[in-house]
Amino acid sequence: MQSRKLPLTWVGMVPFTLFALLFLIAPTMYIVVGAFRTSDGGFTLSNLVNLFQPTILASYWISIKISLATALVGCLIGFALAAAVTLGGLPNWLRGPVMTFSGVASNFAGVPLAFAFLATLGRLGLVTVLLKSWFGFNIYTHGFNLLSFFGLTITYLFFQIPLMVLIITPALDGLKREWKEAASILGATGFQYWRIVALPILWPSLLGTLALLFANSFGAVATAYALTGSSMSIVPIMLYAQIRGDVLQDPHLGYALAFGMIVITGLANLAYVWLRVRSERWMR
């Protein structure tokens, strides 16, 4: 191997680097730079300042709320499901189907997912109709609306929960049986074991998944758009409308809007990296 060691090893990286630069980094940088530019090319902060108007702030806020809610609830339920399947003493054959289904459901996002929930919880959806005809309970007169914060959250969970299951199951498998046994023979209760040993060990994976789920839902356009049209003013939909038709009547405000999205998902991931470094002192 030594004799064949080329001084030009970097040449092998050219295709990938070129691809990443042209179709991932440059486009993103273009948006970032555009957010700080005036229409004649000078530097400015006014685009960012212009983000601070009630409608835009409100849409950021609802986007963050939905993403946080779906990420947190998705993490919680996904964790419960994964724990039930891996540690809960359920029959072993259940595991395969649950994992396969999670693989399917986590990729079942976008337009068809919206249709599925419309057909289920929409005004004429199966569950809505059944609840009305069986129990005389109309969820729509009791404040439920699929085209709302709550409705969108419930829909997003359909891909958020399985994603959590997929990511956290290997981490749960990584918990050694001996740790649980060592803790219990040292006198620890199940709760103490989880608090002092298991959760701290899982913490990095949990945080990582949380950040990923947040970004996943923050950037999702298709589901919301197909579900609500443009009636639900979350940031990605506002940006979508802006790209299509410059509804903000200020192209550079569009850049700022997109930049804001990068900043928020970026911050979520930075927080994750920071917490992870802090919680992983015990790792190699």
Partner 1 sequence: MASLEIEHLEKSFGANRVVKDFNLSIEEGEFISLLGPSGCGKTTVLRMVAGFESPSGGAIRIGGQDVTHLGANQRNIGMVFQAYALFPNLTVAQNVGFGLRVAKRPRAEIKARVTEMLELIGLPDLGNRYPFQLSGGQQQRVALARALAIQPRVLLLDEPLSALDAKIRVSLREEIRDIQRRLGITTIFVTHDQEEALSISDRVVVMNGGVAEQIGAPFEIYNQPKTRFVAQFVGTLNALEAEVADPARGALRVGNTEVILSEPVTAGQGTPVTLAARPEVLALGRREGNDTVFTGRIVETHFLGSILRVRMEVEGQLIALDTFNRPGNPPPKVGTEAEVSVASRDLLVLAD
Partner 2 sequence: MKSKKLWSWLALAFGALYFALPLLGTLEFSLRARRGVYSLDAYRSVLADPQFRETFSYSVVMAIFTILVGALIVVPTAYWVRLKLPHWRPVVEFITLLPLVIPPIVIVFGYIRLYNTSSILPLTGTTTGTNLLLMLGYATLSLPYMYRAVDTGLRTIDVGTLTEAAQSLGAGWSTILARVILPNVLVAVLSGAFITFAIVIGEFVLASLLNRPAFGPYMQLTGANKAYEPAALAVIAFSITWICMGLIQLVTRFSKHTNAKR
Q: Distance (Å, rounded) from C-alpha 88 to C-alpha 81?
A: 9
User: Which residue stretches of the chain are H helix?
Assistant: 14-20, 26-35, 46-50, 54-87, 95-106, 111-121, 126-135, 149-173, 177-185, 190-193, 199-218, 222-228, 235-245, 251-279
204 interacts with partner 2 by CB under 8 A? no
Candidate ranges 21-29, 40-48, 157-165, 174-182; the one touching partner 1 (CB under 8 A): 174-182
Among 35, 154, 183, 227, binds partner 1 (CB under 8 A): 183
Q: Which residues, including other chains, have CB under 8 Å from residue 191's CB and lie 6 or more apart?
A: none
Among 215, 232, 248, 256, binds partner 2 (CB under 8 A): 215
Residue whose tokens read 């050219």: 14
Q: How many residues sit close enough to partner 1 to count as binding (CB under 8 A)?
A: 21
Site for partner 2 in 13-42 (CB under 8 A): 13, 15-16, 19-20, 22-31, 34
Candidate ranges 38-46, 52-60, 84-92, 132-140; the one touching partner 2 (CB under 8 A): 84-92
In the bound complex, what is the minimum distance in angstroms from residue 206's beta carbon to partner 1? 13
Cβ-based nearer residue to partner 1, 74 or 204: 204
Cβ-based nearer residue to partner 1, 104 or 283: 283
Among 182, 243, 267, 273, binds partner 1 (CB under 8 A): 182
Residue whose tokens read 């569009």: 254
Cβ-based nearer residue to partner 1, 6 or 283: 283
Q: Distance (Å, rounded) from C-alpha 118 to C-alpha 122?
A: 4
User: Which residue stretches of 51-125 are H helix?
Assistant: 54-87, 95-106, 111-121
In the bound complex, what is the minimum distance in angstroms from residue 194's beta carbon to partner 1? 12
Binding mask 137-166 for partner 2 (x = CB under 8 A): --------------------xx--xx----
A 10 A CB-CB count for 18 gives: 10
Identify any residues that bridge with 37 across adjacent strands, giving them in sequence order.
43
- In degrees to the nearest 10, what's the CA dihedral of 55, 58, 60, 61? 180
Question: How many Å from the N-terminal Cα to the C-terminal Cα in the chain?
Answer: 29
Among 95, 123, 176, 278, binds partner 1 (CB under 8 A): 176
53 interacts with partner 1 by CB under 8 A? no
Q: Distance (Å, rounded) from C-alpha 88 to C-alpha 90?
A: 6
Among 32, 80, 188, 221, binds partner 1 (CB under 8 A): 188
Q: Distance (Å, rounded) from C-alpha 57 to C-alpha 51?
A: 7
In the bound complex, what is the minimum distance in angstroms from residue 180's beta carbon to partner 1? 9
198 interacts with partner 2 by CB under 8 A? no
* Contact partner at residue 138 from partner 2, partner 1, none, CB < 5 to 8 Å by partner kind: none
201 interacts with partner 1 by CB under 8 A? yes
Among 181, 266, 270, 278, binds partner 1 (CB under 8 A): 181
In the bound complex, what is the minimum distance in angstroms from residue 277's beta carbon to partner 1? 14
101 interacts with partner 2 by CB under 8 A? yes
Q: Distance (Å, rounded) from C-alpha 21 to C-alpha 106?
A: 28
